[in-house]
Structure 1
Amino acid sequence: MDRLTNTIRPYAWGSTTDIPTLLGVEPTGEPQAEMWMGAHPGAPSRIDRGYGETALSDVIAANPDGELGAATVAKFGPRLPFLLKLLAAGAPLSLQVHPDRAQAEAGFADEERRGIPIDAGHRNYKDPNHKPEMLCALTPFEGLCGFRPPEQAADLIEGLGIGSLKPYADVLRAHPEDAALREVLTAVLTADREQMAHTVTETAAAAERLGGPYAPYAALVHDHPGDPGVIAAMLLNHFRLQPGEAVFLGAGVPHAYIRGLGVELLANSDNVLRAGLTPKHVDVPELLKIVKLEPGDPHVLRPEGDGEEVYESPIDEFRLSRFVLAPGAASRLLPADTPQILLCTSGHPRLGELTLAPGESVWVRAGEKVELSGTGTVFRATVVA
């Protein structure tokens, strides 16, 4: 078992206070958006086994069977297939979708064949992997996920009383669900930018005046003035999570995190197709190949189980669970057949001889037995091998 040293990513949308508050340190005044735990090449965690700090990715590469276990290597290859994060949104992230594995493989191969540099701003596929993800709230958490039924989206848009938006509402009422969503999403994202910016400004004024279900969209305009993604976001369901609740986001599901602190677990990929709320590249034709143009209500997950509380998901690259350790509870031996990362989010639990504080995490290689005791909350990230 190895204590992890992790990198905090200072993306502009990050909260300046949420991660420092969890860690019990003074804020720097700069955004601290994500703390990465894992072996992602962009910012691998580091461990020290007595020879100085070494990237976890290098440790795994040197002995994949010893670190991951033979079953995990046989199923996923000689790499850790997930990335665990603390995610602290102080402003909305981009409206986005992720491809499934077949789409990622085809898109990556195509862009490689065309010689698009991997770091090019207009590159869509950075790797041939899919990127399902799960977000579990540590504080009240707000976001957007999945398309509303077109009739509901039409009611919301029409309720603003803005003439330039009425044609979108009419289309949403007049066509089958997938055709209506495709036509309106395409129209919004390809509209004249100057005219759309004016419409977004009108939307902001109306949303602030009306409040209620419109309040989230007024907030989006504050952070992304003139962005057509504000109108596209009105096609999506707005959700709120309470601490301990989670959402799973599969391939093709449009989503955006708005505000809050959470534990995020995802497959190890960087593939993102954006639909707005960002100054970055938006490839509308490619987006329309990937996005699932069907209504889908956000399914809020609550952990199930006694002792180890599991957040169920339909994929094998990751499995998220948590232990809420009450004072006086008996210690327990954790399963040891797969590699795992353990993250403390409250209290001071003990993992064998190690005591963790909030925000601290450890790497446990496959086959290593760990006894969990003390008090607090510990999240466990592993695979289904």
Structure 2
Amino acid sequence: MRRLNNTSRDYDWGSSEDIPRFLRESADGAPVAEVWFGTHPLGMSTFSSDEGEVSLASVAGEMPFMLKLLAASRPLSIQVHPNAQQAAAGFEREERAGVPLDAPHRVYRDAHHKPEMVYALSTFDALVGFRPTAEILRVLSGIESPLARSLTDHLNARPGFSGIVRLVEMLLEEKPDVAEIDRIVAACRDLAGQGIDIRRAYVTAVEIADHHPGDVGVVISLLLNRLTLQPGEAAFLGAGTIHAHLKGMCLEVMASSDNVLRAGLTSKHLDPVGLVSCLDAGMSRFARVTPEQVGFSTDVFNPAVDEFALAITQCSHAEPEGASLPVAPQCLIVCTGGEIELVNEQGERLVLRRGESAYADAGDGSLRAIGTGELAQAYRPTFEAPDPR
């Protein structure tokens, strides 16, 4: 077992308080948006050794999954992650073009797809996936503006997924002027003030406009589902699913990738054409993941992808010998509450308090967690779960 040191990101949408408080550190007023755990080259975890600070990749290789701690105080960009084929082709294309890996306009920073799962640590709000055609038409019908009427006419003429994607293309190619966006926001504000809303479409547009006035993403948000996760709930975003996190703190477990195509609500590089080309043809709502209980103390959130699953283990004095963690060839472990002592098969011990993290592999064998608190364990689900007895 190795205690990890991890890198943080200070993106402007981050919270100045949530992550420092979670890590038990003093806040300095600057935004802290993410902390990365894993072996991605843009956010490599390290550990201390007799030789000094050593990269996790030196013992773990290139892990297929990674973890992020994320805290949003305002909406993130509207974005899509590519599938495996799109990621490989895009990475090769930008490599051939000589685009530096850390260039602000670089889109494909690795050759991997990026399915991901969100596990809420606080109340967490997100926009994910397109609303059904009939619901979008209901949302737009309440808004008196030329743009809303135009979108309605186009969707009536071409309903379904392809028609919704065409609305996104139109909004990104022929961006409406700020006055027209403001008109839509004013109508949404008025409707929400009257207590009229359709699955929180109007209040969401108003909330986003408060942070991103005049942004076309405000209009696109009317096409998207809003979902609120409570602490301890999880949801899965497959590659090609349009989404935007709105606010709250979570753990994200994902394939080890940083490929993001953005189309609004951000100061970062936009790639609207790329985003549209990567949209998946699914119409389903944001998919909550129902956990499977393993043993007395562990819930396993497994979205049925090859790269990752997430186990959440609640530890208490009810198991004085400790709770058994799922066995995996490699895992990243983060203490999300309390104080937990990890014990491996060799009897080695490592104490983790909230915000602290560790790496374990096959050499550690089965792990036990002793104490009072909660552990999140990301791993590749290529093993048999321990006997629940």
Answer yes or no: same fold by TM over 0.5: yes
Query: Residues of 2 paired with 1:176 and 1:165: CA distance?
Result: 15
TM-score when normalising by structure 1: 0.90
Query: Residues of 2 paired with 1:301 and 1:242: CA distance?
Result: 13
Of 334, 343, 351, the residue aligned with 2:334 is: 343
Of 311, 314, 320, the residue aligned with 2:310 is: 320
TM-score when normalising by structure 2: 0.89
Identity of aligned residues (%): 39
Q: Match for residue 382 of structure 1? A: 379
Of 134, 140, 147, the residue aligned with 1:151 is: 134
Q: Match for residue 73 of structure 1? A: none
- 1:159-206 CA deviation, whole Å, 9 max, x = no partner? 1222322110222223131231122111111124xx432222122222
Q: Is the 8 A contact 2:332 2:357 kept in 1?
A: yes
For residues 138 and 158 of structure 1, do their structure 2 counterparts lie closer, same or farther at Cα, with a shift above 3 Å needed? same
Q: Is the 8 A contact 1:7 1:43 kept in 2?
A: yes
How far the C-alpha of 1:335 sits from its partner, in A, is 4.3
- 1:344-364 CA deviation, whole Å, 9 max, x = no partner? 111111112222111111111
Question: 1:11-22 maps to which residues of 2 (within 5 A)?
Answer: 11-22=11-22
Q: Name stretches of at least 5 consecutive residues in structure 1 with no aligned partner.
A: 61-66, 68-77
Q: Specify the SS of the correspondent of 2:236.
A: strand
AA aligned to 1:149 is: P
Q: Specify the SS of the correspondent of 1:13.
A: coil
AA aligned to 1:374 is: G
AA aligned to 1:207 is: C
Q: Match for residue 71 of structure 1? A: none
How big is the alpha-carbon RMSD for the aligned residues of Structure 1 and Structure 2? 1.7
Query: Residues of 1 paired with 2:273 and 2:213: CA distance?
Result: 24
Q: How many residues align?
A: 366
AA aligned to 1:43 is: G
How far the C-alpha of 1:119 sits from its partner, in A, is 3.5
- Which shifted more, 249-258 or 281-290? 281-290
Q: Is the 8 A contact 1:82 1:265 kept in 2?
A: yes
Bigger proportion of residues as helix? 1
Question: 1:169-318 maps to which residues of 2 (within 5 A)?
Answer: 169-192=152-175, 195-211=176-192, 212=197, 213=200, 214-306=202-294, 307-318=297-308
How far the C-alpha of 1:365 sits from its partner, in A, is 2.2
Q: Match for residue 48 of structure 1? A: 48
- 1:281-327 CA deviation, whole Å, 9 max, x = no partner? 33233222211244221121232213321112121211111101233
Query: Residues of 2 paired with 1:38 and 1:236: CA distance?
Result: 31
Q: Specify the SS of the correspondent of 2:66.
A: strand
Q: Match for residue 26 of structure 2? A: 26
How far the C-alpha of 1:337 sits from its partner, in A, is 4.0
Query: Residues of 1 paired with 2:282 and 2:380: CA distance?
Result: 29
Query: Residues of 1 paired with 2:333 and 2:140: CA distance?
Result: 44
How far the C-alpha of 1:366 sits from its partner, in A, is 2.2
How far the C-alpha of 1:116 sits from its partner, in A, is 3.5
Matched, 1:138 2:121: yes
Query: Residues of 2 paired with 1:324 and 1:118: CA distance?
Result: 40
For residues 119 and 22 of structure 1, do their structure 2 counterparts lie closer, same or farther at Cα, with a shift above 3 Å needed? closer
AA aligned to 2:122 is: T
How far the C-alpha of 1:112 sits from its partner, in A, is 2.6
